[in-house]
């Protein structure tokens, strides 16, 4: 007879992200902008600013890396006048539609923040008498009700698995 274990929360979070964002038109636009930026920035002096590689098969597992990259690179290139031919002008040209995806990025970060924080908390604190207690307040910060409900249900399931 095997002992019960806590399932990984990361695949459940990826599944939730996939169900929510895969058919979203702004998400397709965001991925297209990231691909465009990657193609424009590779093999140039700005190659260090290319987006991280995300495999298409497991895209939703690590898509948060693209959103983190987008936030950072957009902070490097704020709107305003850049001299034509300058590195900033080349960067803005390479980013294409990425600045138009800021609303999606903000929503995604709000929803995914708890999903990303909980596995890190569980990794550092490990098993304890109340293994998921540190993660319980995290869903309250999520702006999307569907994500809050599914994440709370997932935590409840994990807690039942851990106590049985």
Domain spans of the chain?
Answer: 9-163
**The whole model's pTM is what?**
0.73
4 confidence band (pLDDT: 50, 70, 90): very low
Higher model confidence: residue 33 or residue 55? 33
Query: 24-50: buried (b, 16+ CB within 10 Å) or exposed (e) per residue?
Result: eebbebbbebbebbbebbeeeebeebb
pLDDT single digits (tens) 105-131: 888 888 888 777 877 777 776 656 566
Least confident of 3-7, 12-16, 18-22, 29-33: 3-7
Indicate whether 25 pLDDT > 80.
yes
pLDDT at 143 over 60: yes
């Amino acid at each position: 007879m095997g002992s019960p274990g806590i399932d990984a929360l990361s695949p459940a979070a990826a599944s939730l992200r996939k169900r929510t964002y895969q058919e979203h038109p702004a998400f397709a636009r965001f991925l297209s902008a990231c691909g465009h930026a990657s193609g424009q920035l590779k093999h140039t002096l700005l190659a260090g600013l290319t987006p991280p590689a995300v495999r298409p098969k497991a895209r939703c597992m690590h898509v948060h890396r693209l959103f983190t990259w987008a936030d950072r690179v957009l902070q490097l290139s704020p709107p305003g006048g850049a001299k034509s031919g300058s590195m900033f002008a080349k960067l803005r040209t390479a980013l294409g539609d990425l600045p138009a995806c800021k609303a999606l990025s903000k929503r995604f970060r709000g929803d995914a923040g708890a999903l990303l924080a909980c596995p890190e908390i569980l990794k550092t604190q490990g098993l304890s008498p109340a293994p998921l207690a540190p993660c319980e307040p995290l869903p309250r910060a999520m702006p999307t009700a569907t994500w809050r409900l599914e994440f709370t249900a997932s935590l409840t399931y994990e807690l039942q698995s851990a106590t049985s």
